Amino acid sequence: MVKGKRKFWYLLGFLIFAFYMLIAARPIPKETILKPRWITSLESNYPDRGKPEFAESTESLPFRLGERYGFVGDDGKFVINQIREAYISLSEKYWAEYDAYPSSIRVMNRLNENVLTIDNPAGYPLFLDDRIFLIGSEQNSITAIGEDGTELWTHDFPAPITCIDASGGFVLAGTLDGAVELLNSSGRAVFSPFEPGGSRLAVILGCAISHDASRLAIISGIDKQRFLLMERAGDTYKVTYHEFLSEGYRRPVNIRFVGNDGKVTFEREGGLGIYDIGSRTSYRVNLEGEIASIDNNGGDRYLFVVTSQGALEKCLITIRYPAFIVSKAPFRSDQVFFTRRGTKLYLGGDSAMASFELEKK
């Protein structure tokens, strides 16, 4: 009788345990890791000096790393890999190498082909939004250049340009006197110059425009510095958020839209600022050293930042939204290059470049 009761309790205990395991069991969540794709040397992987065997539709990205610049394919092979001999302007579509006082500027594409030549240019080349511009020699004007080399329009500013961005056919520029102007595809001002004010020294140190030009992000002023977000309201733009950032920097500040324009990332004293547009919430990530590069994509719940703690001390930092540091990967390099395309990361240091891919495992 006693043995039967014991068996009953043993069986009951086993059934309770089995039932608990069934209802309490949870699948182990997949972790996101960085999977190495390739690594290549900038000094050994040279393309031919002639026209490379590279299709226009093939994916490639521009890079600048120390004295080298060019385009690298998604397979790690360089399309263009050259040593800089003068000044460089580089974008996804165009590049140009020019002197301090150029008599002409040869605009090249990523296949190393001459697209057009600008004779007697009144400034220096700038490539934004797949378009060609000239910044005036006094840095107080911008000229749009057509694909045939003709001047489409010129816009003059009352003070030197301190930051500029372009997207969706619009050009956003900030000036030394603390004003922001937005130009349409015809070079006309969308609204009167906007002056954020609120600081002892008025200057625009950073500006960014969303892909559809519906939002503008600005870093303005010194003592105190401010972050502002402006959103389209009918035929104009209005400030929908602003935040003081203490004294801030006295140099150009990195600021950009990421995460399908759902967030704005920007340098702030002591680290990184992340503003979530959907929740209207500002976050701060404390970082050691100076920010050398910020993720230009910011998708898949992760943001990557490269910091510099010294001449050779660099660190690749992974941030999970809203503002959690999940990993740090230090490496030694004097110069650094970093960019991201979707789930693929490209990191360069000194004489080598590597690619990684975000993978759930």
Report yes or no: 179 and 159 within 8 Å, Cβ to Cβ. yes
Farthest-apart Cα atoms in the chain, separation: 108
| Between residues 330 and 1, the one the model is more confident about | 330
Task: Provide the pLDDT for residue 166.
Answer: 97
Q: What percent of the chain stands above pLDDT 90?
A: 71
Long-range CB contacts for residues 125-129, cutoff 8 Å, separation at least 24: 125/89, 125/94, 125/96, 125/98, 126/89, 126/164, 127/89, 127/90, 127/91, 127/93, 127/94, 127/95, 127/96, 128/91, 128/164, 128/165, 128/166, 128/171, 129/166, 129/167, 129/168, 129/169, 129/171
Identify whether 314 is preceded by a cis peptide bond (ω within 30 of 0): no
- What is the mean pLDDT of the segment spanning 232-252? 90
pLDDT in tens, 306-351: 999 988 899 999 999 999 999 999 999 999 999 999 999 999 988 8
First to last CA, the chain: 53
**Token code pair at residue 298:** 């910011």
CA distances to 164, 178, 185, 205, 233 from 173, rounded to whole Å, are: 4, 11, 14, 10, 19
Q: What is the pTM of this model?
A: 0.86
Contacts of 302 (CB under 8 A, 6+ apart): 32, 318, 319, 320, 321, 358
Look at residue 168 and give its three-state secondary structure: coil
Report yes or no: 329 and 304 within 8 Å, Cβ to Cβ. no
